[in-house]
Amino acid sequence: MTAAIAGIGYTPFSAQAGRSVLDLAAEACQAALDDAGLPATEVDGLGSFMVMHDSVPCQAVATTLGIGELRLSLDLDLGGQAPCHLVSLASAAITAGLADSVLVFRAMKGRSGNRVGAMSFAGGGGQYRYPIGYGAYMMYIGMWAQRFLYETGQGEEDLAAIVLAQREYAAANERAYRRRLITEEEYYQAPYVVEPFRAADCTVEVDGACAVLVTSLDRARALRHPPAVIAAAGYSAGPRSGLDIGDHLLWADYSRNYTHLLAPRLYRAAGLGPADIQMAEIYDCFSSTVMMALEGLGLCGRGESGGFARGGGTRLDGRLPVNTHGGLLCEGYLHGMNTVAEAALQVQGRGGDRQAPRHETCIVTSGALMDGSGMILTADR
């Protein structure tokens, strides 16, 4: 049995929600149900993730929504690697008969509450990082970006191209937190935060929640919108992925992340190849991760992602529209749950002013370094 995404829900993304995380979670989940036209009493599974207890467990959301019996409850202790992973697990659970309809959500006060960028992650590797001041996640991504750009012969003009294209998308997205267009000159005028990143290369932290409803394709066909079919989904943590999500010291090659390992599996499961992919929603806590994933997924050749973006390839009229909501760089840092939601919206043809013209196949990623997840969504064919 194949599964599909049938509903999408959001709260507004803001700097200060002024409400509890549970309230945000419940609103996004209810919105996803309303979007699909499915009553909460039909939901029997929930999945979510949190970093250092910055969110609420599935149990609390089930209670708040008045869900009857929960047959599947997935609380992952992960960050941005989780969204596609959770959709994958929900899809597998539905296929296996463990659940019928699963809400996958992320809810957080990422701006006014616990800010992940400054968190100390659990695990044994932190003692070698935090005491020396090497403690912000952007430092780790920056370390990879620097090596990636060096090895692939790319540079800041390529990061700038990724950023500028996503700013254009965000301008057409009323949900985006950062909607102001910037010029290339403005990009370069901003000082480095952590070289090679300037402020515009970094995601914008927000308060908010986002949820998607995963159910069987058969059931999805009976609901309000055309299904976004989950043609393939999976997770990958490469060998020696470290002692915690910030411990990258044992990873062999900083110019290749988990997408290299995951991509062949996704394509095989979907029966598609990179040339069949019409659009991409790529996890972008920082601009460099878009380039690394485009190359890792085989959508661009090695060292060619920057040139592809500079040539307009990632824009709405380009060969492969990428991050049509403006990405996490602009829409807001819901740890990639909103990246999944945007992919589903696009495949369903509900992208509004930013709708990609060809949207039958979309590849999605969650995560940036040693581990992460991904999926391929297709229109119902």
State whether residue 48 is helix, strand or coil: strand
| Contacts of 6 by beta carbon, 8 Å cutoff, 6+ apart | 36, 38, 213, 214, 215, 219, 220, 223, 224, 225, 227, 228
Confirm or reject binding of residue 118 to other proteins (CB under 8 A): yes
Q: Which of 45, 110, 142, 321 binds other proteins (CB under 8 A)?
A: 142
Among 106, 109, 111, 129, binds other proteins (CB under 8 A): 129
**Looking at 37, 52, 97, 150, which residue binds other proteins (CB under 8 A)?**
150
Any contact of residue 144 with other proteins (CB under 8 A)?
Answer: yes
Tokens representing 81 are: 């690697």
Separation CA 178–CA 184 (nearest Å): 16
Nearer CB in complex with other proteins: 134/188:
134
Do 366 and 233 touch, CB atoms closer than 8 A? Answer: no
188 binds other proteins (CB under 8 A): no
Q: How far is CA 356 from CA 63, 283, 346, 362, in A?
A: 38, 18, 7, 10
Burial 169-197 (b: 16+ CB within 10 A, else e): bbbbbebbbbbeebeeeebeeeeebbebb
Report the alpha-carbon distance of residue 116 to residue 113 in Å, rounded.
9
Q: Which one, of 327, 38, 292, lies nearest residue 168 by Cα?
A: 327
Binding status of residue 115 toward other proteins by CB under 8 A: no
Angle at Cα 27 formed by Cα 66 and Cα 99, nearest 5°?
Answer: 50
Min dist. Cβ of residue 302 to other proteins (A) = 17
Q: Which of 136, 204, 212, 328 binds other proteins (CB under 8 A)?
A: 136
Which of 137, 187, 235, 283 is the catalytic position? 283
Residue 190 binds to other proteins (criterion: CB under 8 A)? no
Interface with other proteins (CB under 8 A), residue from 127, 188, 189, 273:
127
Phi and psi angles of residue 50, each rounded to the nearest 5 degrees, phi first: -150, 155
Based on the shown chain and the rule CB under 8 A, indicate whether residue 237 belongs to the binding site for other proteins: no
**Is 187 a catalytic site residue?**
no
Identified binder of other proteins from the candidate list 66, 77, 128, 155, rule CB under 8 A: 128
Q: Which residues contact 240 (CB under 8 A, 6 or more apart)?
A: 250, 251, 252
Of the ranges 7-15, 20-28, 100-108, 119-127, which one interacts with other proteins (CB under 8 A)? 119-127
Q: Which one from 177, 235, 254, 333 is the annotated catalytic residue?
A: 333
- Whether residue 150 lies in the annotated active site: no
Window of 73-81, 91-99, 130-138, 310-318 that interacts with other proteins by CB under 8 A: 130-138
By the criterion CB under 8 A, which residues form the site for other proteins? Answer: 118, 124-136, 139, 142-144, 146-147, 150, 191-196, 240, 243, 247, 249-250, 254
Query: Which residues are tagged catalytic?
Result: 283, 333
